[in-house]
């Protein structure tokens, strides 16, 4: 009873985007979701910003090299990600994708 109650992730998809669970690797894809995790970590002596994006079908990861933070990106924020994804450790992963913040 004393633990934090997790917020349900609402379906944040918008027309023209692909559900995370249906996104194909190695093709340009656009997904929409809610930022559920953020961290800054070094990769090869280069700062790297990493976020987890979740929609009602799954979770994806987006990383930006050379960045410790990204203006406007915050936990709970809705975001649209476009890029070529790969499957890394079972998750759809984007490296340096284009992004658009939603209201």
Domains and CATH numbers, the chain: 20-101 (2.40.50.140)
Angle at CA of residue 34, ends 29 and 40, nearest 5°: 90
pLDDT at 94: 96
Q: Taking the complete model, does pTM exceed 0.85, yes or no?
A: no
| 71: CB partners within 8 A, 6+ apart | none
One digit per residue, the tens of pLDDT, for the chain of length 103 reads 455 555 545 455 688 899 999 999 999 999 999 999 999 877 677 889 999 999 999 999 999 998 888 889 999 999 999 999 998 888 999 999 999 999 8
* Distance spanning both ends of the chain, measured CA to CA: 33
Q: Is 43 strand, coil or helix?
A: strand
Tell me the CA distances in angstroms from 38 to 2, 26, 49, 51, 75, one per residue in order.
24, 24, 8, 4, 7
């Amino acid at each position: 009873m004393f633990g934090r109650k997790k917020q349900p992730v609402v379906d944040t998809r918008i027309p023209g985007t692909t559900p995370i669970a249906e996104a194909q690797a190695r093709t340009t894809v656009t997904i929409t979701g809610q930022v559920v995790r953020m961290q800054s970590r070094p990769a090869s002596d280069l700062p790297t910003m990493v976020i987890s994006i979740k929609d009602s079908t799954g979770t994806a990861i987006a990383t930006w090299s050379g960045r410790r933070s990204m203006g406007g990106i915050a936990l709970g924020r809705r975001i649209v990600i476009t890029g070529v994804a790969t499957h890394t450790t079972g998750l759809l992963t984007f490296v340096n994708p284009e992004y658009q913040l939603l209201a």
